[in-house]
A and B are shown apart, each in its own frame.
Chain A
C-alpha cells in the first residue's frame, strides 16, 4: 500500500517522473512499482497522463526528471525492450498485409525462434486461426484488437504494457480480450494496462494506480485500498424500527455512525469497522435481525471521490490539475 521503495526485482518501476509537453506539466512526480506477476491497472480520466506514462515506459518519450526501469533496464535502450510486449492506443497493424504477415514482421523484428509455429500458436490463442491469411483491412475492431494482443505476446514477453486494450470493443469483444489477459496472468506474465473501465479493472487487476492531472492519487493493492479507504459498513434490516436510545448507545459504545431508515439501520465506520460486534450489540439489546448486507466502497466509489477531491484541490489552487501551467 505504501509508496515506499519497491523491490529491486520490480517488473516496472517509475520514480519521480516529470514530463512537460508543449509547456504543460503533464506528469508531476509519478512513481510506482509493478511487481512480477501483477495485473496492474492504471486508471485516470481523459488527459490524466496514462498514455504519456506508457510512452515513457516504452522509450518513446524521455522523462524530464526521474528514473524508469522495465525488467530492470532503462527502456530507452533499444535492447531493453526485447522482453517487453505492448499494445498502444492505435493498434499499429498494417491494413494491406494479412494477419500472418503482420505477425511475421514482428516475429522477425524480435528474432522469434520457429516463427511459423509461434505465429500459428498465437493466432489460435486469439481465435483467429482460420482468418490468418485475410488482409487486416477486412477485420472487425474486435478481431484487430485480438490480433494486436497476439502480436504483443508473440515473443513471449515477461512484461506486457497495454494502453486501453478494451477501448471501443463491444461487450463480447471485451470479454474476449479479458479472457486473453487472464490466460496470460495464469502463465505468469506481468501485465500493465490502462483503462477507463473501472468494473473491468476491479475484476482483472490485483493492484492499481490512479492518475489525475499528472499526479498519483491512489496506489496499491486493490483489496486493501477498498478496505482502507474509509467507508466500510453494513445495512442491518430489523423486524421493527430500532429505538432511539439503542441507536445512541450503538453510536457511543461501538464507535460507529448509525442511521435509521424505517426498519433498517445503516452503520458505517473506518478501516477497523467490523460487522459481528455491531450485530452482537443489537441482539443483546433484544433487537431481532432479519438480514445483514455488508457494504464496501467499489472502485467506482473510490474513483469518484478521489476525482472530486483532486478537482477541489485544483480549484483551491492546491495541486496543479490536468491543465496546470508551469
Chain B
C-alpha cells in the first residue's frame, strides 16, 4: 500500500512541477464556458417564467451537468496523464521503477490512479465553478432559493464517473505499457472515448423516447464500468515486466 501511494504522490508532484500543467488547467476551465453558454441560451427562453419553472429547468440542467461535465474533463485529463506514462517509458525511468520491489500490477494501478485523481481534480474544479455561476450567481438572486442537483447526479459524479475514468485509464495505461508505439494507446483511448460518449449519447436520445427518466443515466456508467473493468482484469493477468521492457526503446 505504501509504495502505491508513493507512486501516486510522485506522479502528482511531477504533474504539479511541470510547466505545461499551468497552461493546460486554464485551458480546461476555458472550455467549460461552453456549458455556461448553453445554459444561458436556455435561460434566455425561461427568464420570464415563474420561479418554479426556472428552478425545475435549472435542476434538470444541473443534473445533466453532474453526469457530463466531470466525465468530459476527466477524459481529457486522463489522456494528458497517460502521456506521462509514455514519457516515463521513453526516458526509461519506468525500467528502473520496475527493478525496485514494486510489482508491475502496483505500478500499473498506481499510474492509472494518479491519472484518475489529477483528472478528477480538474473535473471537479470545473464543475464547482459551473455550479457557482449557474446556481448561485444567476438563479439565486432571481428566485431566492438554493438549488442542488439530484442525488443520483451526485452519486454519479462522485462514484460512477471516477470508476469509469479509472477503468478507462487502466486500459489506456495497459496499452501504453505493453506496446512500443504510443499511438496505439491513443487509438485505444479514442475508441474508448467513442464508446463512452456513444453510449451516453444514445441513452440521452433513446431513454426519454422510451419513456424512461433521464435519472436512469447512471446505469450507463455502471455498464461501462463492468465492461471496461472486466477487460482490465483480463489484461492484468497478461501483464509482465518482460513485456514492458521488450516494448521499450533502447
Contact = CB atoms under 8 A, between A and B. Distances in A.
Interface string B187-201: 000000000000000
Contact of B98 (A60, A62, A93, A106): A60
Nearest to A57: B99
B250 A106 contact: no
A88 interface: yes
A61 B245 contact: yes
Given A59-B241, A90-B91, 8 more contacts: A58-B99, A61-B245, A62-B240, A88-B99, A93-B93, A94-B14, A109-B3, A109-B97
B142 interface: no
Which of A59, A61, A78 gathers most chain B CB within 10 Å? A78
Interface stretch (A79-87, A170-178, A186-194): A79-87
A239 to B, nearest CB: 61
B146 interface: no
Given A61-B242, A88-B95, A79 B101 contact: yes
Contacts of B101: 78-82, 109-110
Given A89-B250, A96-B17, A96-B18, A111 B95 contact: no
A21 interface: yes
Interface in A89-103: 89-97, 101
Contacts of B181: none
A55 interface: yes
15 contacts: A59-B98, A59-B99, A62-B240, A62-B242, A78-B101, A78-B103, A88-B92, A88-B99, A89-B92, A90-B91, A92-B92, A92-B97, A96-B14, A101-B10, A108-B6
B241 A92 contact: no
A60 B242 contact: yes
B2 A97 contact: no
Interface in A29-46: none
B196 to A, nearest CB: 31
A226 B102 CA distance: 41
Interface of A: 21, 55, 58-62, 78-82, 84, 86, 88-97, 101, 105-106, 108-111
Given A82-B101, A92-B95, A93-B93, A21 B246 contact: yes
B183 interface: no
B137 to A, nearest CB: 38
B9 interface: yes
Given A61-B245, A94-B93, A110 B14 contact: no
A59 B104 CA distance: 11
Contacts of A91: 96
Contacts of A105: 6, 10
Contact of A101 (B2, B13, B240, B246): B13
A127 B245 CA distance: 32
A111 B10 CA distance: 15
Given A61-B242, A88-B95, A105-B6, A97 B100 contact: no
A88 B100 contact: no
B92 A81 contact: no
B102 A92 contact: no
A81 B18 contact: no
Interface in B1-58: 2-3, 5-7, 9-10, 13-14, 17-18
Nearest to A104: B10
Contacts of B100: 81, 106, 109-110
A78 B99 CA distance: 9
Contacts of B240: 62
A303 B131 CA distance: 73
B6 to A, nearest CB: 4
B215 to A, nearest CB: 44
B241 A108 contact: no
Contacts of A90: 91-93, 95-96, 250
Closest 10 CB pairs of A and B: A92-B96, A108-B6, A90-B92, A92-B93, A58-B99, A105-B10, A78-B103, A81-B101, A82-B101, A109-B100
Contacts of A92: 91-97
A101 B10 CA distance: 8
